[in-house]
Structures are given as structure tokens and as C-alpha cells.
């Protein structure tokens, strides 16, 4: 029986992973951001809910302390950080605060989770998996803040993995493509709102791009892999006897990152332009 802590457990990949681990008899610490999500978790002998807002250091530390009390001396075996935000917008239009908030949740949040998890995982083969994205390998239009945050997680994890060599703890990157979650569904509505909010020169310059992006994600919103399939692959990664450093999830993640390696920049620019059409 493993002890596993999962952030972002209130929906999407995190929720699917919690359900999968509980069905296998694991002891699960489900970390959510709000009291409402905490109340919605339900109850069970192998389930413990904690509040962790990865954008706040004190919240992360308090959440891990709560988990320690529940484990009552038993080791924490696995941590999976699924918590993330994904705002949409062109670089010139999106506010600096949105960029800062995205980096704080996605990138610095991952650093907070690493710092809290490693002392609890090292020495007994513990694993931490951080969910990034294919957008941590390739930058797409309208996703600059999200891509920047995910690229940065890749850099942080590469450094941390090399720094912790020989400490008997594994750091794993999970790089999904499109996963059918509420976040993806919400992007369609957000793209429509963002298009309608454009005014003046921003509207003249970018409204066509925003409309094309909205149409693209509305059309393709049912694609990708299910949250359950992504959870299955994360579970396989953290359960492997000798886990790889990176796991790509979904055909799109494998295809787009391969194209990014093979195509020169201008060719990749044209490919994105064709995708938006």
C-alpha cells in the first residue's frame, strides 16, 4: 500500500488519479485549493483531504504538515503535482499580472512542491511527478504565459534531478497533450470572453487571431486523451521500478514535440498558422 499526495485533486487529472489510487487500495492525500472542494471530496478510511494552494508557501507547508499528522509516522511514497492555471491571450494584450500569476501558480508552485516533498521522499525511493505539458516543449499562439511557465518547470526539474542524484528519490516530468478536463472546456468560454473584451487598436490587430483560436479549440475540444487515461499513465510512471525522466501522454504531445525538433522555426510558424485556419 502506497501513500500518495495529489494536488489539483478537485477536478480533472488530479481527481481521476485520486479515484484510481483509492481503487487500488493506496492511502491518498487529496490536496485541493478551497474549502468547497475539500467538502466535496467525500470520506473514506484511505482518503484524507488537505488544503494546499500551490501559489502560497505557507499553504504548501501547512498542507504537508497536515499530511504528516495523518500518516502518523508512515512514509510518504509519491507526490503528484497537477495544480495549474492556463490563461489565454496575445503577449501584447495580456496583462503583466496575469503572466506573474501564471508563473507563480505553475512554476513557483512546482518549486514549492519540490521543496516540501523532497525531504519526505528521499532515502526510501520516493517519487515526485510534476505535470507539465507539450506546451513546455513548444510555444503556441495565445498561450505565452502558460508555455513560459511550463518551459520553466522543465528547466527547474532538470536542475533538481541533477542536484539530487544519489539521494534515493526520483523526480519525474509528465508531459501531456490535450486532456479532456474542465480546464479545456473552460478555455472555449474564456476565448469567447477574451475576444469580446478586445477594444480599440487591440481589436483591430488581434480580433481575427482570437476568433480563429476560439474556433479551433471549440472544434477540437473533444480531442485528446481522457483524464482517466492520463491518470493511468501517471500511475504507471510513478510505479515503475526504474522510471524515466519524462513521459509524454497522448499522440498530440508526441507528434507536436517531434515536429518542433525537426522543423525550422519558420516552418513551425507556418504549421501553427495552418492549424488556426
In our burial notation (b when 16+ CB lie closer than 10 A, e otherwise), range 238-265 reads: beeeebeebbbbbebbeebbeeeeeeee
Q: What is the mean pLDDT of residues 143-171?
A: 98
Terminal alpha carbon distance of the chain:
50
pLDDT band at residue 185 under the 50/70/90 scheme: low
259: pLDDT strictly greater than 90: no
pLDDT score, position 73: 95
Distance CA 89, CA 34 (A): 26
Give the domain ranges of the chain. Answer: 3-180+225-262
pLDDT score, position 1: 84
Q: What is the mean pLDDT of residues 183-206?
A: 86
Segment (H or E) for 194: helix 182-197
CATH of domain 3-180+225-262: 3.40.50.720
User: Residue 31 has which C-alpha cell?
Assistant: 490536496
In sequence order, which residues have a C-beta less than 8 Å from that of residue 133 and are 6 or more positions away?
146, 150, 175, 176, 177, 253
Distance CA 168, CA 183 (A): 34
Percent of all residues in the chain with a pLDDT value above 90, rounded to a whole number = 84
* 117-138: pLDDT as tens digits: 999 999 999 999 999 999 999 9
Q: What is the mean pLDDT of residues 2-13?
A: 96
172: pLDDT strictly greater than 70: yes
**Which of 86, 10, 85, 18 shows the shortest CA–CA distance to 52?**
10
Segment (H or E) for 183: helix 182-197
Residues in the chain: 277
pLDDT score, position 184: 65
φ/ψ of residue 156, rounded to 5: -60, -45
Q: What is the mean pLDDT of residues 137-149?
A: 96
Distance CA 147, CA 272 (A): 15
pLDDT score, position 63: 98
84: pLDDT strictly greater than 90: yes
Q: What is the mean pLDDT of residues 167-187?
A: 87
Distance CA 88, CA 218 (A): 14
HSE-CB at 229 with a 13 A cutoff on CA atoms is 14
Higher pLDDT, 43 or 54: 54
Segment (H or E) for 31: strand 27-32
What does DSSP assign to residue 94?
S
* 195-244: pLDDT as tens digits: 899 999 999 999 999 999 988 887 776 678 999 999 999 999 999 999 99
Amino acid at each position: 500500500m502506497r501513500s500518495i499526495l495529489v494536488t489539483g485533486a478537485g477536478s480533472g487529472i488530479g481527481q481521476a488519479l485520486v479515484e484510481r489510487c483509492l481503487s487500488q487500495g493506496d492511502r491518498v492525500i487529496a490536496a485541493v485549493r478551497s474549502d468547497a472542494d475539500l467538502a466535496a471530496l467525500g470520506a473514506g478510511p484511505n482518503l484524507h483531504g488537505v488544503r494546499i494552494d500551490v501559489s502560497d508557501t505557507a499553504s504548501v507547508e501547512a498542507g504537508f504538515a497536515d499530511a504528516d499528522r495523518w500518516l502518523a509516522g508512515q512514509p510518504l511514497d509519491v507526490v503528484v503535482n497537477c495544480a495549474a492555471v492556463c490563461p489565454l491571450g496575445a503577449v501584447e494584450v495580456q496583462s503583466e499580472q496575469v503572466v506573474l500569476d501564471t508563473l507563480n501558480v505553475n512554476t513557483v508552485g512546482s518549486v514549492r512542491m519540490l521543496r516540501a516533498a523532497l525531504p519526505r521522499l528521499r532515502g526510501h525511493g520516493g517519487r515526485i511527478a510534476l505535470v507539465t505539458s507539450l506546451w513546455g516543449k513548444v510555444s503556441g499562439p495565445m498561450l505565452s504565459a502558460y508555455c513560459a511557465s511550463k518551459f520553466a518547470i522543465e528547466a527547474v526539474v532538470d536542475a533538481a534531478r541533477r542536484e539530487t542524484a544519489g539521494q534515493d528519490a526520483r523526480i519525474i516530468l509528465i508531459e501531456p497533450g490535450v486532456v479532456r478536463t474542465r480546464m479545456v472546456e473552460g478555455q472555449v468560454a474564456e476565448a469567447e470572453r477574451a475576444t469580446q473584451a478586445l477594444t480599440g487598436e487591440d481589436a483591430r490587430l488581434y480580433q481575427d487571431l482570437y476568433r480563429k483560436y476560439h474556433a479551433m479549440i471549440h472544434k477540437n475540444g473533444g480531442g485528446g486523451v481522457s483524464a482517466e487515461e492520463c491518470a493511468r499513465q501517471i500511475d504507471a510512471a510513478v510505479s515503475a521500478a526504474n522510471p524515466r525522466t519524462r513521459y509524454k501522454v497522448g499522440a498530440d504531445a508526441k507528434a507536436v514535440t517531434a515536429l518542433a525538433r525537426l522543423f525550422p522555426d519558420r516552418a513551425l510558424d507556418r504549421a501553427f498558422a495552418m492549424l488556426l485556419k
